[in-house]
Amino acid sequence: MNAPVALASGQPAQFRDTRFTVPSIRCAGCIAKIERELPKLDGVERARVNFSAKRVAIHHSASLDDVDLTKALRAIGFEAQPVSENPLARDDADTRMILRAVAVAGFGMMNIMLLSISVWSGASGATRDLFHWLSAIIAIPVIAYAGRPFFASALMALRYGRTNMDVPISIGVLLATALSLYETATSGAHAYFESAVMLLFFLLCGRALDATMRTRTRAGIGALLGRIGKSASVFQPDGSCLRVSAEELQSGMLVLVAAGEALAADGVVEQGDGAVDNAMLTGETTPQTVGAGIEVHAGAINVLGPLHVRLTAVAGDTALAEIARLMDEAGQSRSLYVRIADRASQLYAPVVHSLAALAFIAWMLAGAGWHQSLVIAIAVLIITCPCAMGLAVPAAQVVASGALIKRGLLVKDGSALERLAEVDVALFDKTGTLTLGAPRPDISALDDTTRSIALGLTQASRHPLSQGLAEALISEGVKAAIVEEIEEQSGQGLTGRWEQAAVSIGQPQTAQDGMASELTVGDLHWTLRFNDPVRGDARQTIDRLQSLGIESRILSGDISQSVKRVASDLGVPAQAGASPQKKLALLEGLKADGHKPLMVGDGINDGPALAAAHASIAPSTASDASQQAADAVFIGEKLAPVAFAVTIARQTMRIVRQNFTFAIGYNILAIPLALFGMVTPLIAAIAMSVSSLVVVGNSLRLARSGKDET
């Protein structure tokens, strides 16, 4: 792919791999650029982009560290963050295990079906026995391998005295196999190997769909994760700096925080003036000016010059970790939620098992031998095995999550969709959720020339106001003017030269309300006011939710005045000045009243509330912890995906219920046949495939609903 870079001769080459998450990889050009440009850097052997996961794996010599590589990536235009060694590996292994089981079950099903069809079409005597034995030889290892996920889960449930969908499945499969073996050994007419393997195959398809949905959205969310400082440069006694990972930091250490770096622990600034972006902790967008003696927290991003920080709290003692603990505790209640498939099986399994037992007893009483009674009882179990039921839920949820991804919403798993469908109250955070959470300037005062100068000046800066201005200008289609000798003074602003005139942008000369910047070109000045606008479709979204029977409220940690203004604009009740604990208490109160609250928030102060709510959604600009706590993440400037998520979730549950009805309907038709001993393996196979196809077909209708409601 790329020509290897020649290494300095005689130098022992020591290579290591580092992974970076690079959210801005969007096209083939980005892949080509990264894979071609990076190896030109001395010490980089090769770079490989994983487009789906938005990650770059760099194979480089040990002389380069994370910081060098991050800089190199930024130099070619990509924001990157190092990530720890494949955090999704465990999930990945589960998915692979299921895919392998699907392949094995598929192989077994096809070959056994081949033999079974020969038997059904009239093979008899020695040929039939041979085919049954061949089927047994294929089926037993296949069932042992492909059935493991179900057997393991059923055992686990039984051990804790519970029942789930996997218990009736495991009993059905094992009994069908045992009966078939007995029939084969005694030269019987019917063997049910193909039913047992087919059942496993269809059910594994359902599991695979479920797993694919999880990994697909996790990759999307994982790409946005990882902005918390994972290491810090610690001053050594001799004055040099050493990179130390976050876990090994100790309070009392003096660290150097470069511009653009995130803090890895809490501390007090000792030297340097600048500003930190606390958006991750508070959701507040205005950078906080800091100087010697000011306290700064882990997760804050240094936006200006370098700071020397004396650490006061590390690892588990940081303010961030405290919130994480609250979130952990709040999230416990959610794990108690019982998914619809398991709720259905709690009703279904006892009915089916008692039916089978009744059939056995009735036939024994009627005078059929124990062999025939047992065959009939097992046939009842096979025909009622919840094959379509196993597919009913995942098929609908996968199609729904696909439709939602197209609309800019990533749902983490199926249980999230089930809970989203049940919400009846919506609580919104203000900053970053109802509003964009990023300062946007009023640029109406500028003409075309000054606009292009302003863009030329600000486009390279990492200051939030500069970024906001540059974004606003770019969205207006402004082309940047060539500004030379750009310099950024921390806390002051940017200066440069444009066609011999001195240009600058920075703090206004006179004090202004709120955020403002002053643009100077030669002797002329313009003042640009910044504000944090409410998302364009916030009103419509709240109205949509209202029409769905969901009442909205604002629950914000901000000061009451700005909250009141937004609340009266949108016409919803609001509560301001709520601490994370207070938000949590309010949610618990709502839940105690029997409500099922939906929490929409972004800041880490919303984290505990997001974890405690019945369902929760965070914008993709939210803090990492909030995204992890939320059930779903929406992308972009529009709030509409929130209302859309509820609509689709409710449609999904409707389809799931229809699927259950179909599945149970088929069983009701087939059970009498089974009870009267008329089910042959052929009928079992047809019933199973047709009901599965109907369920999958019905679920596909959800894909269309995404297009209808634009």
Residue number with CB closer to other proteins (48 or 462) = 48
**Cβ-based nearer residue to other proteins, 103 or 244:** 103
51 binds other proteins (CB under 8 A): yes
Nearer to other proteins, 184 or 667 (CB): 184
Q: Which residues are registered as beta bridge partners of 498?
A: 501
Among residues 345, 66, 68, the alpha carbon closest in space to that of 229 is found at 66
- Among the listed residues 22, 44, 47, 138, the single contact to other proteins using CB under 8 A: 138
Please select the residue that binds other proteins; options are 5, 7, 31, 67, rule is CB under 8 A: 31
Binding mask 217-256 for other proteins (x = CB under 8 A): ----------------------------------------
* Residue 364 beta carbon to other proteins: minimum distance, rounded to whole angstroms: 39
Q: Does 114 bind other proteins (CB under 8 A)?
A: yes
CA–CA distance, 410 with 217 (Å, rounded to integer): 6
- Least distance between other proteins and beta carbon 100 (Å): 7
Closer Cβ to other proteins, 139 or 275, answer by number: 139
Among 25-33, 276-284, 397-405, 413-421, the segment contacting other proteins (CB under 8 A): 25-33
Of 43-51, 287-295, 500-508, 559-567, the segment contacting other proteins by CB under 8 A is 43-51
Closer to other proteins by CB, 103 or 673: give it.
103
- The CA distance from 694 to 708, in Å, is 23
Q: Is 36 in the site for other proteins (CB under 8 A)?
A: yes
Q: Does 32 bind other proteins (CB under 8 A)?
A: yes
Binding of residue 49 to other proteins (CB under 8 A): yes
Regarding 153 and contact with other proteins (CB under 8 A), the answer is: no
Q: Which residues contact 454 (CB under 8 A, 6 or more apart)?
A: 443, 446, 469, 473, 505, 519
d(CA 226, CA 235): 24
CB of 89 to other proteins, least distance (A): 12
Instruction: For residues 229 and 382, give the distance between their C-alpha atoms in angstroms, rounded to a whole number.
Output: 55
Q: Which residue has the tokens 């033999």?
A: 115
Token look-up 């590390």 returns 314
> Token pair 């983490």 is at which residue?
412
Binding mask 94-113 for other proteins (x = CB under 8 A): --x--xx--xx--x--xx--
Choose, by CB under 8 A, the member of 11, 52, 271, 509 that binds other proteins: 52
The residue within the footprint of other proteins, chosen from 50, 153, 288, 459 (CB under 8 A), is: 50
Exposure string for 465-485, b = 16+ CB within 10 A, e = fewer = bbbbbbbbbeeeebebbebee
User: By C-beta, is 76 or 174 nearer to other proteins?
Assistant: 76
> Cα(282)–Cα(619) distance, rounded to whole angstroms?
15
Q: How far is the CB of 80 from other proteins (least distance, A)?
A: 17
Q: How far is the CB of 32 from other proteins (least distance, A)?
A: 4
> Ramachandran region of residue 647, left (φ > 0), alpha (ψ -120 to 50) or beta?
alpha
Of the candidate spans 6-14, 51-59, 374-382, 688-696, the one that interacts with other proteins by CB under 8 A turns out to be: 51-59
9 in the Ramachandran plot: left (φ > 0), alpha (ψ -120 to 50) or beta? beta
Smallest distance, Å, CB 696 to other proteins?
A: 21
Decide whether 37 or 277 has the Cβ nearer to other proteins.
Answer: 37
In whole angstroms, give the CA distance from residue 562 to residue 566: 7
Instruction: Write down the least CB distance from residue 56 to other proteins, Å.
Output: 11
Residue (131 or 644) nearer to other proteins, CB: 131
How many residues lie near other proteins (CB under 8 A)? 25
**Dist CA 394 CA 655 (whole Å):** 11
Q: Near other proteins by CB under 8 A, which window of 93-101, 281-289, 558-566, 638-646?
A: 93-101
Q: Rounded to whole angstroms, how far apart are CA atoms 236 and 242?
A: 7
Give the Å distances, CA to CA, from 681 to 190, 349, 375.
7, 22, 12
CB 138, min distance to other proteins, A: 8
In this structure, which amino acid lies at residue 267?
G
Does 134 sit near other proteins (CB under 8 A)? yes
2 is a site residue for other proteins (CB under 8 A): yes
Structure token pair of residue 617: 């959604």
With CB under 8 A as the contact rule, which of the stretches 7-15, 29-37, 229-237, 276-284 interacts with other proteins?
29-37
The pairing of beta strand 301-302 with beta strand 524-531: unpaired
Residues 592-611 within binding reach of other proteins (CB under 8 A): none
3-state helix, strand, coil in the chain (%, to 5): 55, 20, 30
Alpha carbons 362 and 346: distance in angstroms, whole number:
25
Is residue 429 annotated as part of the catalytic site, yes or no? yes
Interface segment toward other proteins; rule CB under 8 A; list 48-56, 394-402, 492-500, 538-546: 48-56
CB of 44 to other proteins, least distance (A): 16
* Rounded CA separation 543/354 (Å): 49
Which residue, 3 or 336, has its beta carbon nearer to other proteins?
Answer: 3
When asked if residue 28 is in the footprint of other proteins (CB under 8 A), the reply is yes
Angle between helices 193-224 and 148-159 (to 10 degrees): 80
Is 521 buried (19+), middle (13-18) or exposed (0-12) by CB count in 10 A? Answer: buried
Pairing of strands 231-235, 241-245: antiparallel
In angstroms, the Cα distances linking 636 to 428, 437, 474, 497, 640 are 17, 12, 16, 35, 10
Instruction: List the strands of the sheet with 301-302, edge to edge.
Output: 288-290, 274-277, 301-302
* Residue whose CB is less far from other proteins, 107 or 235: 107
Name which position in 34, 53, 223, 643 contacts other proteins (CB under 8 A): 53
Q: Are 257 and 309 in contact (CB under 8 A)?
A: yes
Q: Which is nearer to other proteins, 104 or 349 (CB)?
A: 104
- Smallest distance, other proteins to C-beta of residue 123, A: 10
In the set 429, 532, 558, 606, the catalytic residue is: 429
Which residues are near other proteins by CB under 8 A? 2-3, 27-29, 31-32, 36, 49-53, 96, 99-100, 103-104, 107, 110-111, 114, 127, 134, 138
Q: Which residues form the catalytic set?
A: 429
